[in-house]
Amino acid sequence: MNKIPIVIMAAGVSSRMRSSSVPSNISQKLINQSNQRVKGFIQAGDGNEPIIFYIIKNSLKAGIKDFYIILSDNSDQFQKYLKKLEKQLSIQIKFGFQDFYGKSKPLGTADALFQLMNQRQELKKKRFIVCNSDNLYSSRAIKILLNENNYNSMIAYDYSCLKYSEKRLLSFSILKIKKNFLESIIEKPDMDTIKSYSKRYVSMNIFSFIGDQVYKYFKDCPVNIKRGEKEIATAIQNMIGDNKRSMIVYPLCEHVPDLTFKEDIDKISQFLN
């Protein structure tokens, strides 16, 4: 097994999920979960396991046994499930908690990693993988990042393989790549920006970071004025602004099921089944 851990971010409030329309084929149980739980804790598939279970299983398949999971303070039920899963799968799970600073939602993904690295000081000195808790990443994608030893790295997904509408591109980060290195990352681009790219690669928020290289960029990450959050994309853009060869990119052509709206629960279940 690989000694590199994976960090799974699961402290969001799932505002788009909760406000989304209710499809006709969803059960009352899943309606309740989608309105009350963080997305990574919503059950899917014939096994009725939370989405995070399948991410952890794919991480295990790739060779990872050490996990850091970022949660919010009001996550007792989720923590109980994860501790049970830790014993069941013979893995190690360490928790980090994202303080919302008295607000109704967290300050963003860069802030989540900054807080975690302060709580778990060992991450400042080692390589670790980072991903969302609401995207079903393959073991293949995780293995690609595990095999990169020299640079911070990320997966660049070929948008034509993702099976999403062009409109969905508006919610991703679009990437500009030059000689295998990231040149720019634009979070939630507008349609004019999207149309200016002939070949579209996007980020689905799965990265491998070298702790002592990225910590300062999470710490100093400015708040995005439009969204009021400190975003990983902003921290990365600042890092590559200082060093153009700090983030190597691995293109990948495969679908990544994404849990954003209530209608996505059934799509992920079909994919799993």
Tell me how far CA of residue 229 lies from CA of 30, 112, 204, 232, in angstroms.
28, 10, 17, 10
Task: Please give the share of the chain, as a percent, with pLDDT higher than 70.
Answer: 100
d(CA 232, CA 185): 10
Rg value, the chain, Cα? 18
Question: Which ranges in the chain belong to alpha helices (H)?
Answer: 15-19, 28-36, 51-62, 76-89, 109-119, 139-146, 191-195, 211-219, 232-242, 263-272
From 227, 231, 12, 232, select the one nearest 105 (Cα to Cα).
12
What would the pLDDT profile of 203-223 be if each residue is shown by its tens digit? 999 999 999 999 999 999 999
What would the pLDDT profile of 144-190 be if each residue is shown by its tens digit? 999 999 999 999 999 999 988 877 777 888 999 999 999 999 888 88
Please say whether the beta carbons of 135 and 256 come within 8 A: yes
Question: What CATH code would you report for 6-272?
Answer: 3.90.550.10
Q: What is the residue extent of each domain of the chain?
A: 6-272
What would the pLDDT profile of 58-103 be if each residue is shown by its tens digit? 999 999 999 999 999 889 999 999 999 999 999 999 999 999 999 9
What would the pLDDT profile of 140-153 be if each residue is shown by its tens digit? 999 999 999 999 99
The more confident residue out of 201 and 195 is 201
Q: What is the pLDDT of residue 194?
A: 80
What would the pLDDT profile of 20-61 be if each residue is shown by its tens digit? 999 988 999 999 999 999 999 999 988 889 999 999 999 999
List 77's β-bridge partners, or say none.
none
Strands 247-252 and 152-158: parallel
Q: What is the pLDDT of residue 149?
A: 93
Q: What is the pLDDT of residue 213?
A: 98
Q: Which of 186-195, 224-233, 248-257 has the highest mean pLDDT?
A: 248-257
Q: What is the pLDDT of residue 1?
A: 62
Lowest-confidence segment of 51-55, 62-66, 127-131, 226-230 by average pLDDT:
226-230
Q: What is the pLDDT of residue 152?
A: 98
d(CA 47, CA 50): 9
